Structure 1
């Protein structure tokens, strides 16, 4: 599997990128990758120098929740923390737009997953600019003040934020699940047709679907402006869930293996005493 093709390294047009790839052995292959990811996370934790932030973005029904469940199910539960960012609370709105994300960052040795991320602040708020007014920004009097320059400035603040994280030992990997509009329709109908899935449906899903083209414009703009070498975006074909999970898992493992995490060795003093420690325990 060639993984470099998913990485955003130059200007992209989402219409030119595939939304579907199918690997018939994806489920079987993922099981092997999961174990390797778990081993790497254990070594990362033991070494204690790096943390990992995984950012997941995608349209409704793109498969973010199930991807998290399937890709990370073999990783030590205490080593993974998932944050799903919803509408900002009253307290969060009293701080700058990055505050709630900063305080949720993973500690060194752990994997933090942002299911919807700080990019909502240049995505949903760009599609629905009236949301920005709730932030009470002194320079913003009305939605008429929210031009492209405002959102591009925010994107640059995000680039600086991620550069700061990378400099201080947080590995930042960002994944956009590239779902087709036809596949979203199929998945929404499935939620309506299967009673056990009804709870997942919201009429808001249909309202947002009508804004599909605007979302695609905003996604394309942020992908092109915020994919950096120390915090790259990867565009994952998402119409086939098992394959999407395998692609992401392969990218994740390949990126983490670049760091050659190693468990710390015992001090020479303790190493010299290992036989004595064994003898003490065997005498009990």
Structure 2
């Protein structure tokens, strides 16, 4: 069964579609070549690409990292529950397709704060068992953890893979990103995993400040962080080899392209040990 509920568990969603400002999920969709975006998203995305021409390579590399990480936590880690927060507009194959391709009994709860994302996720998940789509905001992690549709799918007494893929960088300092991630991370039992990727300015001389500024007019700012700052999000979880690295370097399944541009996204997978 698949269902869509509002962030407060009521019948009516709390969120409205804002087409007056660019939305990160819709811009990401545009970067991926999707069609689920508006002119305001397209214009912002084009400005971003002018300042950071590697962005399309970056979002594709980030998705490939997510695919490899999901396969690992399901196949090697034995996890059968995934909480994907900030899922973005669905692009096939999506998390449930990757995970259930390895273990059909894997259960997935998708969470995002954009009603368009929720609607399209519902369409993709039509008929997919063991899944739910929840309209909620990362900035309110307790509401996510207590949401009835999350709890219907996720049993927090058993290991869970928490996916925070290319979403924490949309939390500004005032949003207390460390506290938000810690709240979600601390709710996970022993044997759980955290899969996280995050944009950085470390790999470019201009630190991609002009590119990040494009998001100042969007519904969420883009906050580039250093390797040390991203590393802190993993808390006392144990990072799997090769640690926190550029997403292209996390257990690649194909040789790197000799002409590939540098990708300013860190990615890592960590386990909660007893």
TM-score scaled by length of structure 2: 0.36
Between structure 1 and structure 2, the one with the greater Rg is: 1
Using CA pairs under 8 Å that are at least 6 residues apart, name the structure with larger relative contact order, 1 or 2.
1
TM-score scaled by length of structure 1: 0.35
Greater helix fraction, Structure 1 or Structure 2: 1
